[in-house]
Amino acid sequence: MLAREWVVVTDQRTGLGWLATQLWGERVLIASAVFVGFMMWLAGLHLGWVSFAVLLLVIAGLLRMERRAVEAGRRTMAVAPAAPIVEAAPPAADLTPISAVLGALDAPALLLSARETVKLQNRAAEAIFGPIPQGSDLAGRIRAPGILDMVRDAIGSGQPRETEHAERLPSETVYVVRIAPLAGPTTEPLWLLTFRDVSQARRIDRMRSDFIANASHELRTPLASLRGFIETLQGPARNDLKAHERFLAIMHEQATRMSRLVDDLLSLSRLELRSNLAPDQTVDLVPLLGHVRDSLQPLANDLGVEIALALPAHPVTVAGDRDELVEVFENLLENACKYGQEGKRVDVALSGGQGAPVELSVTDYGPGIPPEHVPRITERFYRVNVEASRSKKGTGLGLAIVKHILTRHKARLVVKSEVGKGTVFTVKF
């Protein structure tokens, strides 16, 4: 470094000094020129010092020009790097209007692409399937083969498709699932997958068919008995007075059973017509329960059952229809006396009132109800034990009537039972 500076200072005013300065900064270039000159000398081309110096300058200039061109290209690349060549992507579809429409639907709905990926979902669908990230594959969240096959068939054919799908857990739910192409503002083909809950309609259809079957069965049995006894009295027992008395008593019993069944059916029909009309009376339950106990006392005495009332000293009033509430408590106490006869005792306890919630419990100490039957005992014609129910002259409609009346009174029935220890029916207003 010191030697270079000395040369530049002492000889920069002469041509030789300028030449030395230029060549010293280009040591690599000098070495290249020396090598070329040496090779020429070996080849027999003898040059003078002046010619050799000119040769060095020419070679150095050419090499410097080449290096400057390379450096200029590098600076250009550093300042403005070339943009990578990418394929132009299609413009993203604006799904905002479609999202607003889906958000207004109360039925679950999913917007799908032709690749079976989820583009959008509304809140109703999120409540059932959970949040589905945009672009997720439909098969990753809906595992029903029938729905997935329907989606593939619809997308492949370009035509709407519909199927019925049932879920068993957490409760039985039936959906009508439909997929159709969506004619929207986008050029991308989109498909709308909707789920319509028809569980209530299916349950009503099943209840209607079960009701007709059970009602016809309940009426057919006593009618067959009446027909048989009448034919017997008209034929072999025409002149048998003792047979007349025995058969007529049975016929009267069967006719009474049919009359009770018809009365219960009419009561259910009236309750269904007035199910949306709230009662406008005020009923004090304390004297009402005393009246129900007195009306059922002869039945309790015949069965050897004691009815014990535990009633508060103050009035306990609720909004309700007196006749309907009498029917509720008569059904509950009569069932407790009949089916809890083994316990010999039925306890009736009333609590609440004066601002506190009102509760009435009817407890028997009979055989109890198996747990698998408890959720269904308020269904029409449902019996835990068919033979026991018919032997006790039950129609299978008593608890169904109780449930309908309590629903109209904005009350509910809670049943707790333990096999071998008894059952507690609690009415909560």
Read off the pLDDT of residues 328-350 as tens digits, 9 standing for 90 and up.
999 899 989 988 888 899 999 99
- pLDDT tens-digit profile of 61-102? 666 676 676 566 555 545 444 444 443 434 455 677 788 888
Strands 190-197 and 173-182: antiparallel
Contact at 8 Å (CB) between 175 and 196? yes
Low pLDDT (below 50) residues in the chain: 1-16, 18-19, 77, 79-91
Burial class (CB in 10 A: 0-12, 13-18, 19+), 422: buried
| Amino acid 392: pLDDT | 60
**pTM score above 0.85:** no
Ranges of CATH 3.30.565.10 domains, the chain: 278-428
Q: Which of 379, 344, 364, 381 is nearest to 416 (CA)?
A: 364
Ranges of CATH 3.30.450.20 domains, the chain: 98-197
Count the neighbouring beta carbons within 10 Å of the beta carbon of residue 33. 22
Four-CA torsion 17, 20, 22, 27, nearest 10 degrees = -160
E strands along 241-342, which residues?
282-284, 306-310, 317-319
Provide the token pair at 151. Answer: 């989606």
Provide the token pair at 34. Answer: 């020396």
| Amino acid 88: pLDDT | 40
- pLDDT tens-digit profile of 215-259? 777 778 788 888 888 888 888 888 888 888 888 888 888 888 888
CATH class of this structure's domain 202-272: mainly alpha
For domain 278-428, give the CATH superfamily. Answer: Histidine kinase-like ATPase, C-terminal domain (3.30.565.10)
| Amino acid 136: pLDDT | 87
Rounded Cα distance between 415 and 429, Å, is 15
Ranges of CATH 1.10.287.130 domains, the chain: 202-272
| Amino acid 31: pLDDT | 65
| Amino acid 36: pLDDT | 61
Please report which helix (H) or strand (E) contains residue 213, including its range: helix 199-234
What number does CATH give the domain 98-197?
3.30.450.20
Buried residues in 167-181 as b, exposed as e (16+ CB within 10 A): eeeeeebbbebbbee
What are the residues whose beta carbons fall under 8 Å from the beta carbon of 310, sequence distance 6 or more?
Answer: 347, 348, 349, 350
Strand order in the sheet with 345-353: 306-310, 345-353, 356-364, 422-428, 412-418
Q: Which of 378, 370, 295, 382 is nearest to 333 (CA)?
A: 295
